[in-house]
Amino acid sequence: MTRRTPRPGRDPLIAAALALSLLLGVVTGALGAALPLLRSAYGLDDGSGTELVVLYNLGALLAIVLCGIGPRRLLGRALPPALLLAFAGSSAGMALAPTWGLLCGFALVAGAGYGGLILHLNSYFAHPSRPRPALLLNVLHACFGAGATVGPLLVGQWGGTSGLLLVAGALSLLLFRAAAATGEPVDRPEGAAARRPSGPLLAVLALLALLYAGVEAGIGALESTHLTSSGYAPADAARATALFWAGLTVGRLVLPVAARRLHHPRLIGLCLLAATGALAATLLGSLAPVAYGLAGLALAAVFPTALAWANALLPDPRRVNSALLVANLVGSTVLPYLIGLAAAPGSRATIPLALAGLTLLCGLTIAVAARLARRPVPPAPRPAPHNELETSP
């Protein structure tokens, strides 16, 4: 009798892992939004304090790299719970830190816990042995995005971060078992992925992750700048960015279900094509906020689906996910900065055209990746004949 696969909401471990992703998003989104309040609380000058977010992201980057390339004996079941304790304890430490230097130190450790947990959660959900990994990954990223949206709202509601960080740290400890489950070894079935040459394909998919991160983070960072230059009031432009994030979150819940019959590269390519059209429509000033929302909806499934596809194609899921997540972090940091530098104050079209250009490059990259994936896989080596009459000397 075939055992039915539990739905995400009906599997306690999966539901707990999704809740952990939500809490990681809450803390990550809250830190940037709380900078003005933290400057005031610690007596910093206007414009300073960004090192807090930089150190948090640096900790995440280092943890993802080390977990991705570290020896397997150090990456077993004990590591995810240790990462959870680092995240929870350092979140509480940030809430209670008496000095700015101590706050930044806790941010570095909390970022390392966050980065390592994100890698383990993505590897746990993306493993090819799990049913419908693309759907699970999209829901995982939707939960993180929802948390990153709620975090800043709670900072504004509570007027600070101390209570939020203490609550998030305490709640994350309740999900200890879910974190431990992400470190449990899962046997990968022998097949084409184990024999496929991984170097060129992984490099192309990492490039896709980098370029896509530039689009998503670029819209989040520069949409309000573009809307302001198009005549919107700064407050209205800031509020309009919520449409993009809402589209991104809703799309990750809807698109994988609506397009489940499409192969991964085709779904990604169609999403990128739709996003390019939506970004071009942002040049029409009156439609720009709605067009950005549609771009978020179209882009939603790109990165989670690419992760699922990469794990289905290539061996060693943890290292594959590490490479793609590192590329994603680098792209989200570097590319929006370069676009912002290139955007001339008097040119309203630079930002949307640059973003649309990145989506086209993503489409080209996915086409190259699909071509590499179609290459025939070398046959598995046949076992050497064994003579039962032979005896060892």
What CATH number does the domain containing 141 carry?
A: 1.20.1250.20
Give yes or no: residues 95 and 200 share one domain: no
DSSP letter for each residue of 208-233: HHHHHHHHHHHHHHHHHHHHHHTT--
The token pair that represents 113 in the structure block: 């816990």
Dihedral of CA atoms 373, 375, 376, 378 in degrees, nearest 10, equals -80
Give yes or no: residues 22 and 86 share one domain: yes
Give yes or no: residues 205 and 320 share one domain: yes
- Boundary (domain end) residue, out of 134, 164, 186: 186
Give yes or no: residues 181 and 201 share one domain: no
Give yes or no: residues 26 and 66 share one domain: yes
Straight-line distance from the first to the last Cα atom of the chain, in angstroms, rounded to the nearest whole number? 49
In a domain, 332, yes or no: yes
In a domain, 348, yes or no: yes
**Per residue in 303-318, is it b (16+ CB within 10 Å) or e — as a string?**
bbbbbbbbbbbbbbbb
* CA atoms of 148 and 10, how far apart (whole Å): 24
Give yes or no: residues 215 and 167 share one domain: no
In a domain, 386, yes or no: no
pTM, two decimal places: 0.84
Give yes or no: residues 50 and 115 share one domain: yes
* CA atoms of 292 and 284, how far apart (whole Å): 11
The token pair that represents 174 in the structure block: 């309740």
Local confidence pLDDT in tens for the 393 residues of the chain:
444 445 555 578 888 999 999 999 999 988 888 888 888 889 888 767 888 988 999 999 999 988 877 665 555 677 889 999 999 999 999 999 999 999 999 999 999 999 999 998 998 888 877 778 888 999 999 999 899 888 888 888 888 889 999 999 999 999 988 888 776 555 554 554 554 557 899 999 999 999 999 999 999 888 888 898 888 888 888 888 888 988 998 999 898 888 778 899 999 999 999 999 999 999 987 889 999 999 999 999 999 999 999 988 888 777 889 999 999 999 998 999 888 888 766 567 889 999 999 999 999 999 999 999 887 665 555 555 555 444 444
Give yes or no: residues 39 and 172 share one domain: yes
Give yes or no: residues 213 and 314 share one domain: yes
CB atoms inside a 10 Å sphere around CB 17: 26
Domain extent at residue 277: 196-374
Give yes or no: residues 238 and 346 share one domain: yes
Q: Which SS3 state, helix, strand or coil, does residue 180 take?
A: helix
In a domain, 385, yes or no: no
Give yes or no: residues 264 and 286 share one domain: yes
Give yes or no: residues 176 and 229 share one domain: no
